[in-house]
A and B are shown apart, each in its own frame.
Chain A
Amino acid sequence: SQQGEEDPQALSIQEGENATMNCSYKTSINNLQWYRQNSGRGLVHLILIRSNEREKHSGRLRVTLDTSKKSSSLLITASRAADTASYFCATGLRGSSNTGKLIFGQGTTLQVKP
């Protein structure tokens, strides 16, 4: 079973609208990260939120973390056509045997129509 599951799998919005993606996970984490992947390319790190943080902002990005529900959300405000990409959450697991590994979710494919 997957450590991270994302919802929705696909999202299509108009330019200027907000996009919200959710991520749920199963085990204790040190941190949760969000990445972006353009089609056929590598992943680019967007933002990291630690397990003792509840909310973090970076430009048009807002990430929340609820460790009691084991869930996180990524909000992109005032979306642009250039935001079209796949977005992945990744969890840094707690525990010495898992140190240094990130487990990725299935991703949300976002399409922003001009």
Chain B
Amino acid sequence: EADIYQTPRYLVIGTGKKITLECSQTMGHDKMYWYQQDPGMELHLIHYSYGVNSTEKGDLSSESTVSRIRTEHFPLTLESARPSHTSQYLCASTRGGTSTGELFFGEGSRLTVL
């Protein structure tokens, strides 16, 4: 079983609120990722990190921001949530290396913005 955890699993909030989605892994993985997935649709990469103090934007533009101060922790923040941010957010990690091996996923955080 994967040792990667996301909280909260479900979050319903009002427009304009600031939210942080937490993601932690205990596997010592250098590479971590955030994907956004609408119901029944593909995953879109929105942020990734190759190590501490390294963050990059993914292929899908997102108003969210991330930080990587510790290897095990990769939180995602929305400063002012809007209904268009309603989606499932999936965090994943993998070992380092020049090519991408198996990704370990958390259970996801389903965000609903009213």
Is A21 engaged at the interface, CB distance under 8 Å to the other chain?
no
| A35 to B33 CA separation, bound complex (whole angstroms) | 16
Q: In the complex, what residue of chain B is closest to A86 when comparing beta carbons?
A: B40
Interface code A15-48, partner B: CB below 8 Å = 1, 0 otherwise? 0000000000000001101010000111111001
Interface size, A (range): 20 to 34
Decide: B104 and A100 in contact? CB cutoff 8 A: no
Decide: A100 and B43 in contact? CB cutoff 8 A: no
Q: In the complex, what residue of chain A is closest to B104 when comparing beta carbons?
A: A45
List chain A residues, Cβ under 8 A from B2. 42, 44
Min C-beta distance of A87 to chain B, whole Å = 12
The residue in A35, A43, A101 that gathers the most chain B C-beta atoms within 10 A of its C-beta is: A43
| A44 to B102 CA separation, bound complex (whole angstroms) | 9
Is A2 engaged at the interface, CB distance under 8 Å to the other chain?
yes
Decide: A43 and B42 in contact? CB cutoff 8 A: no
Decide: A88 and B42 in contact? CB cutoff 8 A: yes
Decide: A103 and B98 in contact? CB cutoff 8 A: no
| A103 to B45 CA separation, bound complex (whole angstroms) | 8
The residue in B42, B50, B104, B108 that gathers the most chain A C-beta atoms within 10 A of its C-beta is: B42
A41 and B99 contact, Cβ closer than 8 Å, known pairs A105-B42, A106-B42, A107-B42: no
Decide: A42 and B90 in contact? CB cutoff 8 A: yes
List chain B residues, Cβ under 8 A from A107. 40-42
Q: In the complex, what residue of chain B is closest to A29 when comparing beta carbons?
A: B99
Decide: B41 and A100 in contact? CB cutoff 8 A: no
Decide: B103 and A101 in contact? CB cutoff 8 A: no
Decide: B105 and A43 in contact? CB cutoff 8 A: yes
Q: In the complex, what residue of chain B is closest to A6 when comparing beta carbons?
A: B42
Q: 8 Å CB contacts to B: which residues of A98-112?
A: 99-107, 109
Sort A-B residue pairs by CB-CB distance and give the 10 closest, nearest first. Answer: A42-B105, A92-B100, A30-B99, A104-B43, A45-B102, A106-B42, A43-B105, A42-B107, A104-B42, A42-B108
Binding site for A on B (CB under 8 A): 2, 6, 31, 33, 35, 40-45, 48, 50, 58-59, 88, 90, 92, 94, 98-108, 110
